[in-house]
Each structure stands twice: as structure tokens, then as C-alpha cells.
Structure 1
Amino acid sequence: MPRRTATMLTSALLLIALICAGALIKVPYAEMSPGPTYNTLGSKNGEPVLHIGKGPRQYKTTGHLNMTTVQVTGADYRMNMLEAVYGWVRHDSAVVPRSTLYPDDQSAEEVDEENAEEFSASQESAKAAALRELGLPVSSHLLVSSVVKDGPAQGKLHAGDVITAVDGKAVDPKKPQSVADLVTKHKPGEKVTFTVIPADQAKKSKDAGKKFPAAERRQVALTATKAPDDGRAIVGIQPGLGHTFPFKIDIKLADVGGPSAGLMFALGIVDKLTKTDLTGGQFVAGTGTIDDQGKVGAIGGIQMKTVAARDKGAKYFLTPKGNCATAAKDKPGGLTLVKTGSMDDAMDALKKIRNGDTDALPQCKAK
């Protein structure tokens, strides 16, 4: 056999061996790619994404206010070397350490539960921010946001329970920290008594737009345990901020998790409840967490979301200012990235877009 032919054959066999090895070798990475986008002004599976109950006057909307998502490989999926390399060279995906998406100390079910809780909390904040933008009344209360597995509160307190007092002392309805302040006055091993309204009863009252009935309050005694980091007394809950609204607002999107749709939900609610057509018929997409005061926060997977928005047809993308520099480094063609730090920023940007004053938009720039 000629030397050149032998060399080529050997190289081909080595390449085949490397490809086979790459397909068999599992690596600790996961892939993020552009996910579906949903128009908060539209419908999904025949149901409005935003359903506002009886009471307020509602107006016709046009255009798009699309929330965006990131698609990730499943918790049980293990990438091989070839898939990782292919993901690294692709323009529209990102390969990240698996622990970024699925921490080693959490099961897949716990990650899903955490994402669902964040999604629910973001909806509450979006509703509050929207109604405050419209000058409508919003009242606040403290609730159990989550319960730590195997902690003192497991089976005794539940996510959604409204907290009114700790050891008979009223909590500040606007400051979740007030719960921790009262608990940490105890020593590990001591009893801590919570006064709560059960989640199911609280939901009924909220849906009816009524105050929480005092008759439904329950006393729940817990034994404080020691925090692993600093030894302070804890009971194994995460307190959060809840709100009561003057009418019912439902956000109907299944299989979506995390807090990043808050801004777009808030804008969709405002659009439906105000005479002004916010988009002027334009296709606007965006992302960003939002708190109940309208502050917009950064999110993960920004470059996947801008690609998803552009592919869907968006011309403008409301971008959290904390994500601007990263997003601008690899901006999809034909998409204007609008720097957004608050609900007021977003409303001002939409005004410029519908009035055709797009040269005045605060655009994201790469550093």
C-alpha cells in the first residue's frame, strides 16, 4: 500500500475513532437555546394570556408585547462531547456548566418547583406594578413564599399562607424582613408561633377582592432550628410580598418558569386597561424581572431571547439595562435593543415607538 494511501487511511480511522469517542463521552454541560415567545396581548390554546375580570373598563389592543423564553436541555439529559462542541460554535445557542441550570444540591423537581414559585411571584409583582402605573389601589401583605424541605415548617406552613403576626406581634405588611427579625430574636430549640391565614382561604378572599377574614386566622407553633451558616434561629420558610387587587387578573401560561416575564406582563395589563394603544400596532418584545414598584431587573439567557424575538418578527426589544452590554455584543440584525430600567422607561420607550420617534430611543451599547 502506498505511503500516502496508508496515511490517509490512518487519519480517517483516527477521525472516526475520535467522533465515536466524542459521541460516547458525557460532559457536565447543558445547552441553552431560543425558546418560544408569547404575545401578552394575545391568546394561547384559545385562552387569553392575560384575563382581566369584571370591574375595570378594557380596551382593544393591537400589535405585540411579546415575552420571551429560553429553552434548556432537561435535567436528566447528559450531553456528549460532540454536542457540546457543536453548541459552542453555533451562533444561536450557549453551552454552560450543567450546575448553572441544575445545582448539585437540588433535584430536578426542586429546580422546577423553584422556577414555578419565581414565575408566580413575578406575576404578582407585575400586577402590582401595572396597577400602580395606572393609579389604581394595591394593598400589600406578607406570605410564605416557599417552605424548606425537611425544615421545621414543612407540613405545617404552606406556600401562599398569609403571615399576619409572629409571637403575637404584627409583621410589617411591606417588609418580608420583619418576619426574619422576629424569628431571630429566638434561640434554636425555642417555640415560634405564627399567625397565618391558610393559602386556600387567602386565595378565595383575594379572588373576590375582599379583605382577609380575621376568623380564618390560625396559630401555628414551630420549633426553631439552627441556621447552618451562622447559627441563628430559623424555621425553614422564605417570606415574600403578596398583594391584593381591586379585581381579578389571571395570567394563563403553562410550562413557563422563572421571573423574567414580569415586565412584559405588566405592560400587557396596562395596555388592556388604558385607552392609549401602547404599541401603535408595532411588534415589540422584551424581558426583565419587575418588582412591585416597577423596577426592572436583569435576567439570564439574554442573547437567546433576542434571537427568539427577532426570529418571531420583533423590531424592538425592551432590554434590562443590566443586560444591555451583553446583548449588544451579539445583536441580531434588524432588532433595536432599548435600554430599560423601570416601568416608566418602558412606557416612555413605547410612546416613542408608536409616535415614530425611534431615533430618540435609549439603545443598548456594547462596552
Structure 2
Amino acid sequence: MTFFEAPEPPKRRRFAGWIGLGVASIVAVGLLVVPTGFVIERPGQVFNVMGQIDGTKVISSQEVETFESESRFDVTTVSLLGNRESTPSWVQVLYAWADPNQVVLPLDEIFPPSFTAEQFRAESSLQMEVSQQDAIAVALKKLGYQVPRALYVNTVLEDAPSSGILIAGDLITSAGGVPVDTFDAFKAQIQLAEGTPLIIEVIRDGEEISLSVTPSLNGEAWVVGAMIGYTYNFPFELELQLGDVGGPSGGLIFSLGVLDALTEGSLAGKVHVAGTGTIDPEGNVGPIGGIALKMLGAKRAGAELFLAPAANCQEAIGQIPSNLTVVLVRDLTEALDKIEMFANGEQLPAMQCNN
């Protein structure tokens, strides 16, 4: 019997195979470690403001009685994967693009180039603090309380235009000669001043002081480099505890929760309500981001009724999960009316967007 040895593959072919393997390895490593320039949004946790977090009631007070409720009011959130210091991998981005329950966004859209992750967290935390204060104030005014308000300096950033001029605790009364009692009004005066000195009147240690700050350009906006918050003279102390959650979008649900906690009975009966939306000191509900993901998170948590800001109608109308009733609200009063209608089994108006 004769045996034949298989001929050895040509060296050129073997070499090409190694090159192909090397290229594939480089691509695979790149998909895992090369920065992408994107972040990924997903449905986040939901938090029942009528419940507890880590054994502590979300809404509580040592100075006034609060009441238990059978209603559930969920704050909805989005979970963000990635930041300026660490972006998701290309594998994660490609998977998210193919997943209708995730959204891929440019990094600069969420984290401005001039913002570090630490600055982003600080601003997000301040937005939540302001939102909670507004939510409490709106609810208390709905209950008939008088709630005076003032702007104050929460934090001054290092090497910012306000550094060494404004200090934490300053109460801001006017800017550019115009009285201001909202952050938007103060911000408007900063934009009008552009790069020229802005006169800011503050109260410091009970004394009125006039200060001059020259805004600097940060991206497309003029800034003074100070975190501004609201301080209210509440008739009693009320604590809102929601763990490590930032941003202003829980304002509407917080107001509803405070109303429910401070009145006997259950505001929505046994209905499971979820929602989102900022709330301003006058009770107006403002738009937010990630509405589709928040509706999906609410549905997964078992919500029956979802309150959406009217300004988010176009984004929401084609993304409503099955078996979730979504209604548009423009202010706290409308939210209360539609909750009552739903709890009573009444027909809710059809969801229509105004052009």
C-alpha cells in the first residue's frame, strides 16, 4: 500500500490567514475598548413616593402628621450607560441600536464638552433639589398655605466668573436691575448681559450687597459659574428622600405625593399611577427627555395610568405600551382632574397633540 503525504499549504496562503486573524482580533478589541462617542439610555428604576426606600419613608415630617395611602405614585427614570470619562463599547452600542427598548445618543448631547462627569452629577443633583422644593411649594399652596420664595447661591465653581464674588448662601434679589425670583428669570439676565459685567443684588448676612460678575461663554450659553437653588419659607419641614436620583423630571409626581401624604384617604384610590414632568412654582408641568423609555418602565412596574407632559405629546403618542393609559397634563390641576376621572371609571379624553 502506498501512502502519500498531504502537501504543505503555501507559505503565502498561511501568511494571509495569520493576517486575517490579526485583523479580526484588532477589530474585536476595537469593538470593546475604542471610545464610541455615544451614550445609551434605557428604562430606569421606578420609585413609589408613597412608599419607602431602604426602610425610610420617601415623604415624611417630624412637624406635621402624614397619612398612609393605598394609592401608588411612581417617579419614572431613565438609566444612562456611559459618560465623558467612560463611553459604552461598540458592541454595546451596536446591540442598543438593534434594541427598540434602548436609545443611542451622541455623547455631546448629554454631556457638554466642557462638563466633567462630576459637574454633570452636581448639576443633576441640584436640579432634583430645586424640583423637590418646587413640588412641595406647589402642593402646599394647593392646600392653602402661603409659601414665600427666594433664589440662593448653592455652590460657586472654582475659577468661575463668580468665584470670590458670590458665596454659598447669598440670597439673590435682582440681576441687571430686574427683580428675579426664578432660576429662568436669573438665567435670562445672564444671557442678556453676554460678556459684559452683570450687577447682581444679594442679601448676605442680612445686608443688601451689590456685586458685579462678568459671564463667560460655555458652549452656546453664558454662565456665571454658580449653582442656583430655591429656598422657601415653608410653614413646616417636610422631607423628601429618593436616594441617588437626579434631574428635575420627578416634580409632578412629588407634588401629587405630597398632596396625598398631607391629606387623609387615598388621592387616587387604589390606582397605580406613574408619570413624569417638571413642575414650576406656579404648578405648570414641563417637558422632559426619555418619555418613551419612562412609559416602558412604568408599564413594567405595573402602572395603570401614566401622566405625560402635554409638551411631550409628539414623542409619546406613537410609543405608548399596550394596556397602559396615558394622559396629557399641562398643570397640577389637570393632573388631579384626570386622576379622579380614571379612578371613577370615567371616559378620559382622547390623546391629541396640538400643533
Alignment partner of 1:309 is 2:318 = no
Q: How far did 1:19 drift?
A: 5.0
C-alpha separation between the residues in 2 aligned to 1:303 and 1:81? 24
Asked if 2 retains the 8 angstrom alpha-carbon contact of 1:148 and 1:154, the reply is yes
Which residue number corresponds to residue 147 of structure 2?
138
**Which residue among 332, 343, 364 is the counterpart of 2:321?**
332
Q: What is the aligned-residue identity percentage?
A: 30
Give the residue type in structure 2 aligned to 1:251.
L
Q: How far did 1:242 drift?
A: 3.3
Asked if 1 retains the 8 angstrom alpha-carbon contact of 2:277 and 2:286, the reply is yes
Asked if 1 retains the 8 angstrom alpha-carbon contact of 2:172 and 2:200, the reply is no
C-alpha separation between the residues in 2 aligned to 1:107 and 1:43? 32
Which residue number corresponds to residue 257 of structure 2?
268
Q: Identify if the C-alpha distance between structure 1 residues 15 and 303 changes in structure 2 by more than 3 Å, giving closer, same or farther.
A: farther
C-alpha separation between the residues in 2 aligned to 1:19 and 1:144? 49
Q: How far did 1:235 drift?
A: 5.8
Q: How far did 1:74 drift?
A: 3.4
SS of structure 1 residue aligned to 2:281 = coil
Runs of 5+ consecutive residues of structure 1 not aligned to the other structure? 198-215
Which residues of 2 match residues 198-277 of structure 1 at below 5 A? 216-218=205-207, 222-225=211-214, 227-228=216-217, 236-237=225-226, 241-277=230-266
Output the TM-score relative to the length of structure 2: 0.81
Asked if 1 retains the 8 angstrom alpha-carbon contact of 2:53 and 2:242, the reply is yes
Q: How far did 1:135 drift?
A: 1.7
Give the residue type in structure 1 aligned to 2:39.
A
TM-superposition CA deviations, 1:75-126 (whole Å, max 9, x none): 2322222211110111211111011221111111111111011111101110
SS of structure 2 residue aligned to 1:329 = coil
Q: Identify if the C-alpha distance between structure 1 residues 235 and 14 changes in structure 2 by more than 3 Å, giving closer, same or farther.
A: closer
Please provide the CA RMSD for this pair. 3.7
Which residue number corresponds to residue 60 of structure 1?
68
Give the residue type in structure 1 aligned to 2:89.
N
Q: How far did 1:347 drift?
A: 0.2
Which residue number corresponds to residue 344 of structure 1?
333
**Which residue among 28, 40, 53 is the counterpart of 1:31?**
40
TM-superposition CA deviations, 1:58-86 (whole Å, max 9, x none): 33311210001111013232222221111
Q: How far did 1:306 drift?
A: 1.0
C-alpha separation between the residues in 1 aligned to 2:161 and 2:354? 48
Moved more, 235-244 or 37-46: 235-244
Output the TM-score relative to the length of structure 1: 0.78
Asked if 1 retains the 8 angstrom alpha-carbon contact of 2:216 and 2:223, the reply is yes
C-alpha separation between the residues in 2 aligned to 1:271 and 1:140? 23
Alignment partner of 1:320 is 2:309 = yes
Runs of 5+ consecutive residues of structure 2 not aligned to the other structure? 1-5, 7-12
Which residue number corresponds to residue 69 of structure 1?
77
Give the residue type in structure 1 aligned to 2:323.
G
C-alpha separation between the residues in 2 aligned to 1:37 and 1:148? 32
Which residue number corresponds to residue 212 of structure 1?
none
C-alpha separation between the residues in 2 aligned to 1:79 and 1:59? 44
Which residue number corresponds to residue 78 of structure 1?
87
Which residue number corresponds to residue 10 of structure 2?
none
C-alpha separation between the residues in 1 aligned to 2:128 and 2:189? 26
TM-superposition CA deviations, 1:305-339 (whole Å, max 9, x none): 11111111111110111112212212222111111
Greater Rg over alpha carbons, structure: 2
Asked if 1 retains the 8 angstrom alpha-carbon contact of 2:165 and 2:213, the reply is no
Give the residue type in structure 2 aligned to 1:271.
D
Give the residue type in structure 1 aligned to 2:290.
G
Which residue number corresponds to residue 203 of structure 2?
196
Which residue number corresponds to residue 92 of structure 1?
101
